[in-house]
A and B are shown apart, each in its own frame.
Chain A
Amino acid sequence: MIPFDLRFPTTVQEALELLDQYGEEARPMAGGTALVLLMQQRLVTPQVVVSLSRVDGLSSISANGSLRIGALVNHRVVEESPEVKAGWPLLAETYHRVATVRIRNVATVGGGLAHADPNQDPPATLIALNATVTAASSGGKREMPIEDLFKGYYETCLTPDELITELTVPRPVRPLKTAYIKFLPRTADDYATVAVAVALDVADGRCVDARIALNAAGSTPIRARDAENVLRGQPLSDEVFRAAAATVPAIVDPVSDHRGSANYKSRMAEVFVRRALEKATA
């Protein structure tokens, strides 16, 4: 790794001031599970690394009303949290599906989102659950729907002086019918070939609302709005699920790689949307 100057702010304010001061030359580090690798490969070569490991106030979860997760909460804490398991079981399950316990012990929620690798697991679920993310800079705060965060491969809309401080997930009016399916033809700890999250609000056998998103199907997580529109207002049936899934190949844009060709992944995106709908409503 190229040497850098390592700073340890202890408050969010101090961290933001450092980022403001050093601009493009600085990079925040949370767990470091992604950033250390990028720095070793010299894909990222910051002169100043602002470690968030000693920053106070971003490490708690609260669930009074909406679920609020501080950016420095690690994946393992989310998956194990009794509040998350009770109110947002899909979220607990999805964080459980990330990598291995060893990585989840260190990887933070904020770092995971800012990393913006479209193969990651949490984004599709967070889109399906209508989550928002709060970013702060020394100039102030802004909150955005999670899907607006992602701009491309490893690219977010955050400016160099901004930090993700919090993730918010609304509490559903009634329990949603949900599923997250990760297609893993190689190994259990791999990134998905495609992955799908669905959250359906169902009343009297009809789909009142639907949110569907995919990971590993393009340069960002992708929301399947056409599929959602097919479902909304309809009774739950295999026919409707098939019709919804059939809209998916047209909106995905996967790359060919060792996990499959682009064409194969587009087909699998359709298959896995259908299976996720079946699983959610089984």
Chain B
Amino acid sequence: MTAHVRFRVNGESHEVDVPEQRLLIDTIRYEVGLTGTKLGCGVGVCGACTVLLDGKMVSTCIMLTAHAEGADILTIEGLAKDGELAPIQKGFLKYGGFQCGICTPGQILAAHALLEYNPHPTEDEIKDWMMGNLCRCTGYYKIIESIEKTAAGEV
């Protein structure tokens, strides 16, 4: 049984026909062709597969594609505008908010969602929000600093 699903990804409309059990991460990677969304743990814990669905972060590894019907999806590829990186991307670059990079798309989308929700978070608020995005290189201090500096406009 095939699900016919319509949604927008980074502002562009898509219609896909996928098996009903197809997870959103696989649809984004293999139907839409955007591979910045990473599969990490596959059980909703690590945050590598984070996208923003109607502005809210979700784990695409535990969501059916059909549950994204009608949604506006933002993936890491959609954050830069007209070739210009978003402030949070600049912040991660400038302050070394990544090491190996596998968790980075999820980290950046989570941080972006945080700053949209709370433009001037405290360190505790950053930690509370970001605790669902794991970095196995354990570069957490640099990630927190990247967010703080971005919030302070120092990018």
Contacts and interface: CB of A to CB of B under 8 A. Distances in A.
Interface of A: 1-6, 8, 29, 32-33, 36-37, 39-40, 49, 51, 53-54, 76, 99-103, 105-106, 187-189
B63 interface: yes
B34 interface: no
Contacts of B62: 32-33, 36-37
* Max chain B Cβ within 10 angstroms of own Cβ: one of A32, A33, A51, A100: A100
A3 B18 CA distance: 12
B132 A101 contact: yes
B21 A103 contact: no
Contact of B20 (A5, A54, A99, A189): A5
Given A32-B62, A106-B63, A189 B19 contact: no
B64 interface: yes
Given A36-B62, A102-B58, A51 B67 contact: yes
20 contacts: A4-B1, A4-B20, A4-B21, A6-B1, A6-B20, A37-B44, A49-B20, A51-B66, A53-B67, A53-B69, A54-B69, A99-B44, A100-B47, A100-B132, A101-B57, A101-B113, A101-B132, A102-B59, A105-B57, A188-B128
Nearest to A5: B1
Contacts of B1: 3-6
B64 A101 contact: no
Interface of B: 1, 3, 19-21, 23, 42-45, 47, 50, 56-59, 62-64, 66-67, 69, 110, 113, 127-129, 131-132
A102 B50 CA distance: 8
B68 to A, nearest CB: 10
A3 B20 contact: yes
B21 A3 contact: yes
Contacts of A32: 62-64, 67
* Max chain B Cβ within 10 angstroms of own Cβ: one of A1, A36, A53, A101: A101
A101 B44 CA distance: 11
B132 A105 contact: no
Q: Classify the interface of chain B: helix, strand, loop or mixed.
A: mixed
A106 B59 contact: yes
A37 B43 contact: yes
Nearest to B43: A37
The 10 closest A-B pairs by CB, nearest first: A100-B132, A6-B20, A1-B21, A105-B56, A36-B62, A102-B57, A102-B132, A188-B131, A189-B131, A53-B67
Contacts of A189: 45, 131-132
Nearest to A107: B44
Contacts of A1: 21
B132 A99 contact: yes
B132 A36 contact: no
B64 A100 contact: no
A106 B132 CA distance: 14
Nearest to A36: B62
Contacts of B20: 3-6, 49
B49 to A, nearest CB: 9
A205 B9 CA distance: 58
A157 to B, nearest CB: 26
B141 to A, nearest CB: 16
A32 B19 CA distance: 16
A51 B3 CA distance: 13
A33 to B, nearest CB: 6
B44 A6 contact: no
A256 B128 CA distance: 29
B144 to A, nearest CB: 14
Contacts of A4: 1, 20-21
* Max chain B Cβ within 10 angstroms of own Cβ: one of A2, A6, A49: A6
